[in-house]
Structure 1
Amino acid sequence: MYVVLVYDISGLGNGQKILGKVFKICKKYLTHIQNSVFEGEITEGQIVKLKSELNKLIRKNIDSVIIFKSRNEKWLDKEFWGKKDDALSNFF
């Protein structure tokens, strides 16, 4: 399945340390496309592993993670505005 994952990690407490770890975990499974946004093809089993790893870090009262799921990337209609980063090869 194709997913877009976004996260918001609060800077409170050890937030910067958590932010770095969350970034590394997401990068293992998905392609980093912008700040706290990742996308890519992933299996249901990989989603379970990803969630498990993130749940160990996320402070549920101040941090958040959202995963948008689609059967296939072709079912997503993407528009891009502003500065285009050439590293974003998944956009066009």
Structure 2
Amino acid sequence: MYVVIVYDVAVKRVNRVKKFLRQHLHWVQNSVFEGEVTRAEYERIKAGLKEIIDEDEDSVVIYRLRSQPLRDVFGTEKNPMEDII
């Protein structure tokens, strides 16, 4: 499945969330990651994020898609998908 994860977390947890998500997904822009994952990877990502965030202060939204979406980018793309090997 293809996922897009967006988050809004307290400053003291931003780097932990970003570092964790970089292990699993492609960084798109500030607080946005996306990529293809298996069901098991998806469950690991959810569990890992729940350990890092404070559910009373932070917000994480995961969009699940059946296939890689078509993307239209306007302006400068912060981390082009072509950079992925």
Fold match, TM over 0.5? yes
The equivalent of 1:25 in structure 2 is: 20
Counting matched residue pairs gives 82
The percentage of counterpart residues that share the same residue type is 34
The whole-number CA distance in structure 2 between the counterparts of 1:89 and 1:29 is 15
The whole-number CA distance in structure 1 between the counterparts of 2:38 and 2:7 is 20
Could you tell me the TM-score, scaled by structure 2's length?
0.86
Of 64, 69, 75, 1:82 maps to 75
> Where do 5+ consecutive residues of structure 1 fail to align?
none
The equivalent of 2:56 in structure 1 is: 61
Correspondence 1:2-41 to 2 at 5 A: 2-11=2-11, 15=12, 18-41=13-36
The whole-number CA distance in structure 2 between the counterparts of 1:84 and 1:21 is 23
Larger Rg: 1
Could you tell me the TM-score, scaled by structure 1's length?
0.80
Q: Structure 1: which 4+ aligned runs deviate by more than 4 Å? A: none
The whole-number CA distance in structure 1 between the counterparts of 2:77 and 2:52 is 31
Of 37, 45, 53, 1:50 maps to 45
Report the Cα offset of residue 84 of structure 1: 2.8
